[in-house]
A and B are shown apart, each in its own frame.
Chain A
Amino acid sequence: DTGVSQDPRHKITKRGQNVTFRCDPISEHNRLYWYRQTLGQGPEFLTYFQNEAQLEKSRLLSDRFSAERPKGSFSTLEIQRTEQGDSAMYLCASSQTGIGGYTFGSGTRLTVV
């Protein structure tokens, strides 16, 4: 593995459309995180998986957001009925133990027009 992979790198969508992002973590890492970052801000926690179980969701994650991690491998983040306020960089990160920080992917830049 060369690191955490995210796809796509960029996504432009019209307001009201659904979008899905994919994250492939480092293979031996059982913890996976999604963060959101807007311009001039630090990343904000969205949700966390340990293996296939989604153990925590931030209050930032409205009902339009859903995340999955089938079989504890890759993860997807879906946003339904996108709004302009959803425009941001969506970052995925993974770690083995949680201690010592984690490795981030390059992110998916979402623009809602």
Chain B
Amino acid sequence: EDQVTQSPEALRLQEGESSSLNCSYTVSGLRGLFWYRQDPGKGPEFLFTLYSAGEEKEKERLKATLTKKESFLHITAPKPEDSATYLCAVQVRRDSNYKLTFGKGTLLTVNP
């Protein structure tokens, strides 16, 4: 069974304090790994897709990296508006429906 585990469950940072969120996965045949941001009461908002080990993507203060077993979302000099739940999800090659299997998310709080 495909598994996605995110850590930590919650992270509290001071504004400007850089850190990383982890997503470890156990799947048979990874097609892609996805990062989403979710604000309270809203649907997930797409951030990045990573397809192969060694790949990196960047957007503003966020940088996502991928290895064969895990992905990291690095947050550099975060601001309070970066506070949200960050979700990691995987797609596997055997699924022709392209469904996503999500982790439980990391709740990030950035204090001013």
Contact = CB atoms under 8 A, between A and B. Distances in A.
B34 interface: yes
Contacts of B29: none
Interface size grouping (class) on chain A? 20 to 34
A100 interface: yes
Contact of A31 (B43, B49, B98, B104): B98
Interface string A32-51: 01000000111111001000
A45 to B, nearest CB: 5
Nearest to A97: B98
A93 B100 CA distance: 11
Interface in A61-113: 91, 93, 95, 98-107, 109
B85 to A, nearest CB: 9
Interface size grouping (class) on chain B? 20 to 34
A101 B42 contact: no
A51 to B, nearest CB: 13
A2 B87 CA distance: 23
B43 A106 contact: yes
Contact of B97 (A43, A55, A100, A104): A55
When A and B form their complex, which 9 residue pairs have the shortest distance between CB atoms, in order from nearest? A98-B98, A42-B102, A104-B43, A48-B97, A45-B99, A101-B34, A106-B43, A104-B44, A56-B97
